Amino acid sequence: MNKYEKGDYGYINAYKKGKLIISLILAAMISFIVITVIIMYGSTNKVAIVFAILLSMPFAKFLIAYIICAKFNPLNKEQYEYIEENTKTSNSKILYDVTISQYEGVKFYHSLCVKNGIVCALVLDKNINKNRDDYEKWISACVTDEKYEYKIHVFGDIDAYLKKVNSISAPNDNTRIVDKHMTERILDTGV
């Protein structure tokens, strides 16, 4: 079984699949316990039902995690390969399936690049022109730091995204370290 890490292409699908499988296993265990208690004792008012009650909390946790991410559709294979092919020469670390969580909810970014003080994000949403500021504010809240200021660009078109990513100059050693820190910070905020 492949192990996906945050930022890898395919991560969100693997995450959803894992949460769904665990939810289904827990649901089956809860159902088995309830049915067994009913068959053995004729009712659910026996102490043995406590096991089903205790399993309901982890079940709810995994089900909610699945529901939150179920609406996110990652790039298809052709789009992913197109981005990879067109960023080979730019020396850019491209992240995929990035989520940023805040108290208000979760925003999904199909692809993201942190390089030389600039954050470029790709969001393939038909309403991106209307919601661009929201997506930029979510990233801004994540990378805000007193010492470093990052310019944030959100694109709704793959070619415009690639053009910007490829136009960013190579970072120096100090900037490369800060970029790595900011990338980790972004990945830590998501699912």
Residue (of 70, 107, 111) closest to 92 by Cα position:
111
pLDDT band at 2 (very low <50, low <70, confident <90, very high): low
Residue 88 neighbours by CB under 8 Å, 6+ apart: none
- Asked if 60 and 30 count as a contact pair (C-beta separation under 8 A), the reply is no
**CA 157 distance to own-chain centroid:** 20
Supply the pLDDT for residue 154: 94
Percent of the chain with pLDDT over 90: 56
Considering the entire predicted model, what is its pTM? Answer: 0.84
- Whether 155 and 113 have beta carbons less than 8 Å apart is answered as no
**Residue 172: per-residue pLDDT:** 84
Q: What's the confidence (pLDDT) of residue 146?
A: 57
* Tokens representing residue 64 in the block: 């909610």
Vertex 126 angle, CA 136 and 106, to 5°: 45
Backbone phi, psi, residue 107, to 5°: -115, 145
| Residue 122: pLDDT band with limits 50, 70, 90 | very high
pLDDT digits (tens, 9 = 90+) for 140-176: 888 776 577 888 999 999 999 999 999 988 888 888 8
- What pLDDT shows up at residue 1? 45
User: Tokens for 31?
Assistant: 């159902």
For the stretch 16-41, pLDDT in tens is: 999 999 999 999 999 999 999 999 88
Classify residue 91 as exposed, middle or buried by CB count within 10 Å of its CB (0-12, 13-18, 19+).
exposed
**Contact present, 23 and 63 (Cβ < 8 Å):** yes
Give CA–CA dist 79/153, Å, rounded. Answer: 19
Q: What is the pLDDT of residues 70-96, one digit of tens each?
A: 989 999 999 999 999 998 877 788 999
Amino acid (1-letter code) at residue 25: I
CB 92 within 8 Å of CB 82:
no
CB 142 within 8 A of CB 125: no
From 108, 100, 62, 103, select the one nearest 182 (Cα to Cα). Answer: 100
Average pLDDT, the chain: 89
